[in-house]
Amino acid sequence: MRDEVDDLVEAWGRERGDLDLAPVEVFSRISRLARHLDLARRDAFTAHGIESWEFDVLAALRRAGSPYELSPGRLLRETLVTSGTMTNRVDRLAARGLVERLPDPKDRRGVLVRLTVEGKAAVDGAFEALLAAEADLLADLPDKQRTQLAGLLRSLLAPFS
Amino acid sequence: MRDEVDDLVEAWGRERGDLDLAPVEVFSRISRLARHLDLARRDAFTAHGIESWEFDVLAALRRAGSPYELSPGRLLRETLVTSGTMTNRVDRLAARGLVERLPDPKDRRGVLVRLTVEGKAAVDGAFEALLAAEADLLADLPDKQRTQLAGLLRSLLAPFS
DNA sequence: GTGAGTTATCTCGACATCAAGACACATTCC
DNA sequence: GGAATGTGTCTTGATGTCGAGATAACTCAC
């Protein structure tokens, strides 16, 4: 079975036969899979009326557990965006009624972002759709190989933690 | 060895123990690795005075082989951006002297974008730096496992081609 | 050849993001 | 208690991208 990256490596090999292209075989596939996954996510979420960036924020709140509250600062560290972006995102999510802003009782500078009942329903539905879409992409890979793949990816990712 | 995704899966498991989170073990790692790789690319390219988007365009031209010419349309299909973006990118690359625009002798509507000598030198240097950075990320993974990983990723990616 | 439909590129307005800085409040140390 | 420093959030301006539309030129059937 051949994929896009085999073509890419072949083209580079023709032009730069002096270089060891083994890293490309791994990382170019990771980049491309990430791009395809983004599209699959977008589709799965669109069916539930939310967008990817909305899911990222709502999911962080959902994972925090009841009462589903986090500070904007914590949210931006979880989602790896800047503070300006997070202000904008929370504004729009609040306008849609999926989250609400509360004053932090412990710190008068602070704010807490809390998932509403509607927000919880939205993120739960979207997450189930995402899992279904991802399971689909994995359908052809036997369990044993999937586990092996997860393990290999973990050892690449672990140094970053 | 534990990574960020183990924490993520654990958190979801606490909240949604009813769901099979196996797909997350694969795809969340792929997304995160892609993000880390982007940062590593940025660093490697910065040392050579170019940016990631510049590399994407220059590399497509470089891979095409001598005389290093492609149409804007072909370039946007290779790099997956829209036409407005490509016009902007070619403008800026031409202003920096890394590419030049030529009329297409075969089609008077058309334009060819050609790598200059400076552009070729820039992309070759940047590609070597990228390979070195990627090889670094793979340093701890034995050859055999790297090959195995590439193979598993290929079987995930192949359906998209 | 002429006209309809297609293809290639560029232009332009809208928008989300980023990065830097402003502002308010907390905390610490003297 | 008061000054200096730290922390948390929001505001602002610049930038790159997208997407729709405009223009020019090609192709093919008649």
pLDDT band at A80 (very low <50, low <70, confident <90, very high): confident
User: What percent of chain A has a predicted confidence (pLDDT) above 90?
Assistant: 68
For range A21-40, the mean pLDDT: 93
Report CB contact under 8 Å: A63, B154: no
Interface of A with B in 95-134 (CB under 8 A): 124, 127-128, 131, 134
User: What percent of chain B has a predicted confidence (pLDDT) above 70?
Assistant: 100
Q: Is A146 part of the contact surface with chain B (CB cutoff 8 Å)?
A: yes
Q: Is A51 part of the contact surface with chain B (CB cutoff 8 Å)?
A: no
For range B73-82, the mean pLDDT: 92
For range B2-9, the mean pLDDT: 92
Instruction: Mutate one of B27, B141, B154 to test the A interface: name it (highest A CB count within 10 A).
Output: B27
pLDDT band at A113 (very low <50, low <70, confident <90, very high): very high
Whether B161 shows a pLDDT value over 80: the answer reads no
pLDDT band at B47 (very low <50, low <70, confident <90, very high): confident
| Beta-bridge mates of residue A70 | A113
Mean pLDDT, chain A, whole residue set? 92
Of A26, A38, A127, the CB nearest to B146: A26
SS (H, E, C) chain A: CCCHHHHHHHHHHHHCCCCCCHHHHHHHHHHHHHHHHHHHHHHHHHCCCCCHHHHHHHHHHHHCCCCCEECHHHHHHHHCCCHHHHHHHHHHHHHCCCEEEEECCCCCCCEEEEECHHHHHHHHHHHHHHHHHHHHHCCCCCHHHHHHHHHHHHHHHHHHC
Report CB contact under 8 Å: B16, A137: no
For range A76-96, the mean pLDDT: 90
pLDDT band at B87 (very low <50, low <70, confident <90, very high): very high
User: What percent of chain A has a predicted confidence (pLDDT) above 70?
Assistant: 100
Is residue A126 within 8 Å of residue A48, measured between CB atoms? Answer: yes
User: What percent of chain B has a predicted confidence (pLDDT) above 90?
Assistant: 82
Report CB contact under 8 Å: A157, B5: yes
Mean pLDDT, chain B, whole residue set? 93
Using the structure block, give the residue that is written with the tokens 């044993």.
A144
Tell me what pLDDT residue B150 has.
Answer: 96
Q: What is the pLDDT of residues B91-141, one digit of tens each?
A: 999 999 999 999 999 898 899 999 999 999 999 999 999 999 999 999 999
Of B6, B23, B149, the CB nearest to A131: B23
Of A5, A27, A138, the CB nearest to B26: A138
For range A134-157, the mean pLDDT: 95
Tell me what pLDDT residue B66 has.
Answer: 87
Higher pLDDT, B3 or B161: B3
Whether B20 shows a pLDDT value over 90: the answer reads yes
Q: Is A157 part of the contact surface with chain B (CB cutoff 8 Å)?
A: yes
pLDDT band at A46 (very low <50, low <70, confident <90, very high): confident
Whether A43 shows a pLDDT value over 90: the answer reads no
Whether A161 shows a pLDDT value over 80: the answer reads no
Whether B5 shows a pLDDT value over 80: the answer reads yes
Tell me what pLDDT residue A66 has.
Answer: 85
Higher pLDDT, A161 or B54: B54
pLDDT band at A128 (very low <50, low <70, confident <90, very high): very high
Tell me what pLDDT residue A88 has.
Answer: 92
Which nucleotide is nearest, taking the CA of residue A82 and each C1'?
C18
Q: Is A43 part of the contact surface with chain B (CB cutoff 8 Å)?
A: no
The neighbour count for residue A51, using CB atoms within 10 Å, is 14
